[in-house]
Amino acid sequence: MDDSKIKTSVLSQVNDLLEIREYGHGYLLTLPLAFYDDDLITLFVEPYEGGVRVSDQGTTAMRLHMADLDLETPRVVEAWTRSIASLGGQALTAEDGMVGGWGDVSNVGQLVLNVAEATLRVDQLRWLANEKRPVQFRDRVVRTIGSVAPRPEYVTPNAPLPQTSGRTRQVTAAVGPDTDNRIYVQAMSASSRDQAAEHCYYVFSHTDVPRERVLAVAAGRRDSWPAAVLNELDDVTDVAFYGEGTDFQDQLASRIAQLRGPAGHRRARKA
């Protein structure tokens, strides 16, 4: 093996995989280079002011837009400019929404490679987009409580629930006008059923807050939870199921409607 054989092999591979077809007044080139998702780079080559222009026709910007990247923020504009720096003075302006450059026909090969490299760099700007993380179940519960509560200020996320020991333990949220007159809600995620149920049972079994002012809300439907777990929880609280229509909203609204003055009696366990 020597350098000439390596060069010949590489050029042969590029030649075999490069696709060129007529398109309008120019040519579409599909290169043997791919973005991270395996889409091949396709460039448009066309006559331009006595020379040639090579561009992506805005497809890279479209890919970034589909990735929820705001192309007009100063941070992205600066990163775009740096990404096309290899094109030098031959680069198309960012306002065109295209990655591309122009030059002499005799230099079209180098121009194609430069533009292809620039599109790969620009496409990496997608990682500047804010990642959309799935909303956690507890956050969905808090939002629902806010939609049911008479006033937004009545909702207290991560509320401290008084315990019989004199300590407090945190529950998902509370809703009510004051600490002596509100409903305490504990969310139980389906991703950790046993742990969530044990925590809920513990905090509700060690409080003097009446049963009618505590409520557990379980992710999913009733039939997705083990009967033994629900039977145990039934000793200390009612359980609403988030996946069964408006079950949670209805039970919560019913409790809110029954709020009266400060509760001074111990929560009665269900027989």
User: Over its length of 271 residues, how does the chain's per-residue pLDDT go in tens digits?
Assistant: 788 888 888 888 888 888 999 988 999 999 988 888 888 899 999 998 889 999 988 888 888 888 888 888 888 888 888 888 766 666 665 556 788 888 899 989 988 988 998 899 889 888 887 655 567 899 999 989 998 998 888 899 999 999 999 999 999 999 998 878 899 999 999 888 899 999 999 999 999 999 999 999 999 999 999 999 999 999 999 999 999 999 999 999 999 998 854 333 333 334 3
End-to-end CA distance of the chain: give it in Å, rounded.
86
Instruction: Return left, alpha or beta for 158; rule: phi > 0 is left, psi -120 to 50 is alpha, else beta.
Output: left
Measured between alpha carbons, how far is 192 from 16 in angstroms, rounded to an integer?
53
Residues 6+ apart with CB under 8 A from 5: none
User: At 187, which helix (H) or strand (E)?
Assistant: strand 181-188
Domain ranges of the chain: 3-128, 137-257
What is the pLDDT at residue 23? Answer: 87
Q: Are 215 and 252 in contact (CB under 8 A)?
A: yes
Three-state DSSP class for residue 43: strand
Q: Are 126 and 66 in contact (CB under 8 A)?
A: no
pLDDT tens profile 65-118: 888 888 888 888 888 888 887 666 666 655 567 888 888 999 899 889 889 988
**Residue 133 DSSP code:** P
Long-range contacts of 218-221 (CB under 8 A, 24+ apart): 218/188, 218/190, 218/242, 219/137, 219/187, 219/188, 219/189, 219/190, 219/191, 219/243, 220/190
Q: Are 221 and 199 in contact (CB under 8 A)?
A: no
CA distances from residue 135 to 48, 111, 175, 248 in whole angstroms, order as listed: 50, 45, 21, 18
Three-state DSSP class for residue 271: coil
Average pLDDT, the chain: 86
Measured between alpha carbons, how far is 64 from 85 in angstroms, rounded to an integer?
19
What dihedral do alpha carbons 246, 252, 256, 259 form, nearest 10°?
140
What is the pLDDT at residue 134? Answer: 66
Sheet holding 26-34, edge to edge: 19-23, 26-34, 40-48, 51-55, 100-103
Classify 137-257 by CATH class.
alpha beta
CA distances from residue 65 to 93, 219, 229 in whole angstroms, order as listed: 18, 34, 46
CA distances from residue 241 to 168, 222, 236, 248 in whole angstroms, order as listed: 26, 6, 16, 6
